[in-house]
Structure 1
């Protein structure tokens, strides 16, 4: 274990994923979301395969005992990705990022519902706190549904992100089931593969022929997506999830900077306040999970025969 290196890899993955989101936003909605998912997934595959080859784990990374599980995870994850990409054309980047933080909160709820995980009062309270923060972020958009065309579009974008967060949380539930029997490398590879195939379903709904600049932007986004996934997965080899997970929220700072300096998007105080609440709730859940993990480790150690 090398926690500092693991944290560095995690932060690098956050930077790379934010660059990917910025590239997708730069296309300004000129390419349908399903087609964007196709580029994002297809061009991530060579990066992931090269990574597996370098680690000498290509055969292991392609082996699966639960292909149907990967399909279900792919359906949920691809839907979440497509909804998030569609929302980038309608909402400021910091707002999309902040609402997306609802996903790990909802994962706690769905894990209790579908996996039978125990949820104590502390996690219930922090999830409720986080969802209040999400509602604060959403409130200006939802209250302006009947005002004008622009407001209607932004309200629709907000609902796209929130729905995407729901599907992202469901995808994480499937991942939790998959990791009990599948290698992480297989989960990473087959998600890109299934997302590429599933995105083709949207082909009859109006794909376009992008110009050279847009095509290059989408290809770059896909390559960055692959690099980000490799960095993210590698970070968990060097540090426990509870150590690196809080650094996911560095994406909020990056989103604010990229939104302001590149897309001229100034966040409102409402968005900042709601984001602060959501981030605080997420960090509290991670902290609590770490404390429980340490407690369980101490209990196992005390039960181990000495001598």
Structure 2
């Protein structure tokens, strides 16, 4: 894993939100993931810079919470422009949305993203003066001119179905949009999971709650500090095999696309020991992970 640039901030951490600007009309908050947007501290007058990818399935959390506007990570844009699919949905539901170039801001690092540069903005954001090349924090202050937010049920179709793609002698082969979508009434400790979401550092926290044997996730374009695959190395420390899937090969936020279309772009040492290699198709990689001897350490 590449070292962080010396001037880069460290991630805020699990479930942490931080105000980074306060004006007369509202505040700008940074967070490492949109998983943390539903906090009472953040309200209808606030703009969120969250280092999740700018897809419908993640930004939908902000729609439902009712913030004023959102800036997220463009995830390398990727196959079918899935990394910025939330932009037109923002226009549809009345929310300014912009994305940061993943080469300038690290995924799973809200403060790094706030210092990054805008790559794309929807029509509502553009009407407020947001343009590509602006620093995200400057764009966010422009977004404070937007109407106050309101919680809304977007009725966006998000496929959170758990798909069982097969079984092996040791466990199941599963595909799902996100690890957080796994039903909590099942044991996944013998299973290998392919997900649609990114493979950033947040995985180090997620696998403490959703315990799987191994996983594959989208590399979000890899990006600054190789943040799109930071979770591989967090889980390497736990003895857990993990690999990333090229964002150009599979749609981010789509577990079935990850399974059927995905091509491995990076592996941790545990997955490598199981025989997983860059360029491998996802189903083959999952079978190798499933056959590997369990080596998960205590989390």
Q: Please indicate, yes or no, whether the TM-score normalized by the shorter chain is above 0.5.
A: no
TM-score range, shorter chain: under 0.3
Structure number with higher relative contact order (C-alpha < 8 Å, ≥ 6 residues apart)? 1
**TM-score (ref. length: structure 2):** 0.24
**TM-score (ref. length: structure 1):** 0.23
Identify the structure with the greater strand proportion.
2
Bigger-Rg structure (1/2): 1
Identify the structure with the greater helix proportion.
1
